[in-house]
Amino acid sequence: MTERHDAVTIIAAKRDRGELSDDQIDWVVDAYTRSVVADEQMSALAMAILLNGMGRREIARWTAAMIASGERMDFAGLSRPTADKHSTGGVGDKITLPLAPLVASYGVAVPQLSGRGLGHTGGTLDKLESIPGWRADLSNDAMLAQLEDVGAVICAAGSGLAPADKKLYALRDVTGTVESIPMIASSIMSKKIAEGTGSLVLDVKVGSGAFMKSYDDARELAETMVALGTDAGVRTTALLTDMATPLGMTAGNAVEVRESVEVLAGGGPGDVVELTVALAREMLAAVGRDDVDPADALRDGRAMDVWRRMIAAQGGDPDAELPRARETQVVTAPSDGVLARLDAFDVGVCAWRLGAGRARAGESVQAAAGVELHAKPGDAVAAGQPLLTLHTDTPERFDRALEAVDGAYDIAEPGADVQRGDIVLDHIR
């Protein structure tokens, strides 16, 4: 077969800040999926896109090409309306775990096609796989049946859904090209549009622990994705949310599952509860259920009931003991005062180095690895008081993990007025 384009010319065009034609984009996405374009060539193109960007037309065409690389799902046969949520990734971001069953408890189908860890951010599937027996891979038929019966499913995207993105997603993770706005937007929206959900709420993170460090970049990404979704007929909105500090009091895998169960039981950290409820309100409003308060279903146990059924439906034991790390190490406060800053990125890197994330595509992660926080900004601390507990099964990881959090926090003078900022920063429709 004679190819109508070649990768080198396309790489050079984007390297030199040129615009790619629709046909070039269609070809390079398809050719990479067919392995005609090699990983090293797509790595070079991804880096050129990261450095030089893409126009709106290019992003829309790249997204369409990713969708066209595989199948499209159809939820029209379900008796429930569908609503989905996607987070751009953060540290301690376990929101999907309580959110999916919470929204489903109101008669909505929540098809959460989730991913694995990407760089310093945790992966929803990695977290859930710490539950004994739980499986991420479901057939399309099994997914549809679970949505009809239980209302919520959190699983891996099938191999037939945007296979170009699945291949490129893993490549970006290990080539320093995760932060590209065009790549993030097209990756997320190709899967979500192909998935077939009727409405979508985007949680776009802003801050040191997010891929978008600045408010302006996060807003650009959110607006790009909302436009892609709206143009494709998916009711799409976005919340910009803070990721300067880790969400909740844990970052890792099993440690985050425990915290999510606390939220479903009516407790848990205030910031996790606040964001879960805010996103639930958006999702419910998108399907016409703005007459309810989702906080009620956390208090009365309805969301917990759906969680248990969802975990069991995917082979997991909701009552099983979660893995605990064989080794721990404590980081203590060096002085009395008020915790003024706790950097989300540094905590995420620490958890990654402890074994909660992966350095290479396909690498396994430790279920028990992670970081437990004992204070958040605004909390008073005393000299010698634990600030962080590091969890791992491999203690040789402690040295590099400790390096990551050296300088990750600041302690102000006793009595200092340290304000905690809002979790939700903006709303984009």
Residue 417 lies in a domain: no
Least confident piece of the model among 136-150, 350-364, 391-405, 409-423: 350-364
**Pair 290, 334 in one domain:** no
Asked whether 237 and 202 are in contact (CB, 8 A), the reply is yes
Residue 216 lies in a domain: yes
Tokens representing residue 428 in the block? 């984009």
Residue 322 lies in a domain: no
**Pair 282, 337 in one domain:** no
Residue 421 lies in a domain: no
Closest CA to 288 of 77, 80, 101, 73: 80
Residue 102 lies in a domain: yes
- Rounded distance between C-alpha atoms, residue 219 and residue 235, angstroms: 18
Beta bridge partners of 424: 241
**Pair 293, 381 in one domain:** no
pLDDT-based confidence at 358, cuts 50/70/90? confident
Domain holding 359: CATH number? 3.90.1170.30
**Pair 352, 305 in one domain:** no
**Pair 146, 276 in one domain:** yes
Give backbone dihedrals phi and psi of 107, rounded to 5 degrees, phi first. Answer: 80, 20
Split into its structural domains, the chain has a count of: 3
**Pair 28, 171 in one domain:** no
Looking up tokens 């970052």, which residue turns up?
Answer: 251
Residue 75 lies in a domain: no
**Pair 309, 336 in one domain:** no
**Pair 237, 337 in one domain:** no
**Pair 143, 237 in one domain:** yes
Closest CA to 235 of 243, 224, 227: 227
User: Is pLDDT at 49 greater than 70 in this prediction?
Assistant: yes
Chain segment 296-321, per-residue pLDDT in tens: 999 999 999 999 999 999 999 999 99
Domain holding 96: CATH number? 3.40.1030.10
In this prediction, residue 361 carries a pLDDT of 65
CB-count exposure of residue 229 (10 Å: 0-12, 13-18, 19+)? buried
DSSP assignment of 315-371, as one string? Answer: T--TTSPPP--SEEEEEE-SSSEEEEEE-HHHHHHHHIIIIIS-SSTT----TT-EE
**Pair 88, 217 in one domain:** yes
Residue 194 lies in a domain: yes
**Pair 366, 248 in one domain:** no
Residue 62 lies in a domain: no
- Residue 288's alpha-carbon distances to 81, 166, 282, 283, in angstroms, are 9, 32, 10, 9
**Pair 265, 405 in one domain:** no
Q: Is the pTM of this model over 0.85?
A: yes
Chain segment 95-129, per-residue pLDDT in tens: 999 999 999 999 999 999 888 876 677 789 999 99
- Domain extent for 28: 7-53
Residues tagged active-site:
86, 165, 172, 187, 191
User: Is pLDDT at 342 greater than 70 in this prediction?
Assistant: yes
